[in-house]
Amino acid sequence: METYDYDLFVIGGGSGGVRASRVAAGLGARVGIAEDYRVGGTCVIRGCVPKKLFVYAAHFRDDFEDARAYGWTVDEPSFSWPTLMANKDREIARLEGIYGRLLEGSKVKLHKARARLLDRHTIAVGTDKVTAKTILVATGGWPVMPAIPGIEHCISSNEAFELPDLPRRVLVVGGGYIAVEFAGIFRGMGSQVTISYRGDCVLRGFDQDIRATLQAELAKKGFDLAMGSVVESVVKQPNGALSVTLCTDTATRLLECDAVTFATGRAPNTAKLGLREAGVELTQDGAVRVNEFSRSSVENIFAVGDVTNRYALTPVAIREGQAFATTEFGSTRIPVDHATIASAVFSQPPVGTVGLTEEAALKRHGTVDIYKTDFKALKHTLSGRDERTMMKLIVDTKSGRVLGAHMVGADAPEVIQGIGIAVKAGLTKAQFDATCAIHPTAAEEFVTLKEKRTVAA
- Between 13 and 176, whose beta carbon lies closer to ligand NDP? 176
Q: How far is the CB of 160 from ligand NDP (least distance, A)?
A: 12
By CB under 6 A, residue 44 contacts ligand NDP: no
By CB under 6 A, residue 182 contacts ligand NDP: no
By CB under 6 A, residue 223 contacts ligand NDP: no
**Helix-then-strand count for the chain, H and E:** 12, 22
By CB under 6 A, residue 161 contacts ligand NDP: no
Give the separation between CA 328 and CA 398, rounded to whole angstroms: 41
Contact criterion met (CB below 8 Å) for 249 and 215: no
380 is catalytic: no
- Between 64 and 142, whose beta carbon lies closer to ligand NDP? 142
Beta strands in 377-451 (DSSP E): 388-396, 402-408
By CB under 6 A, residue 206 contacts ligand NDP: no
By CB under 6 A, residue 265 contacts ligand NDP: yes
Residue nearest to ligand NDP (CB): 176
DSSP 287: P
Whether the upstream peptide bond of residue 440 has omega within 30° of 0, thus cis, is yes
**CB neighbourhood size of 162 (10 A):** 12
Backbone angles phi, psi at 27, to 5 degrees: -95, 10
Stretch that binds ligand NDP, among 77-85, 99-107, 194-202, 270-278 (CB under 6 A): 194-202
Q: How far is the CB of 351 from ligand NDP (least distance, A)?
A: 9
Q: How far is the CB of 331 from ligand NDP (least distance, A)?
A: 33
- Between 118 and 145, whose beta carbon lies closer to ligand NDP? 145
Give the angle subtended at the CA of 255 by the CAs of 252 and 259, to the nearest 5°: 135
* Contact partners, residue 232, CB within 8 Å, separation at least 6: 148, 149, 245, 246, 247, 252
Q: Which of 6, 9, 177, 446 binds ligand NDP (CB under 6 A)?
A: 177
By CB under 6 A, residue 263 contacts ligand NDP: yes
Contact criterion met (CB below 8 Å) for 16 and 320: yes
Contact criterion met (CB below 8 Å) for 353 and 344: yes
Binding residues for ligand NDP restricted to 68-127, rule: CB under 6 A = none
By CB under 6 A, residue 288 contacts ligand NDP: no
**CB neighbourhood size of 87 (10 A):** 13
- Between 215 and 373, whose beta carbon lies closer to ligand NDP? 215
Comparing C-alpha atoms, which of 221, 190, 185, 183 is closest to residue 77? 190
* Binding map of ligand NDP across residues 329-368, x = CB under 6 A, - = no contact: --------------xxxx----------------------
By CB under 6 A, residue 32 contacts ligand NDP: no
- Between 199 and 384, whose beta carbon lies closer to ligand NDP? 199
Q: Please, what sign has the CA dihedral across residues 295, 296, 302, 306?
A: negative
By CB under 6 A, residue 146 contacts ligand NDP: yes
Q: Summarize as ranges the residues that interact with ligand NDP (CB under 6 A).
A: 146, 174-179, 181, 197-199, 204, 230, 263-266, 312-313, 343-346
Catalytic residues: 439
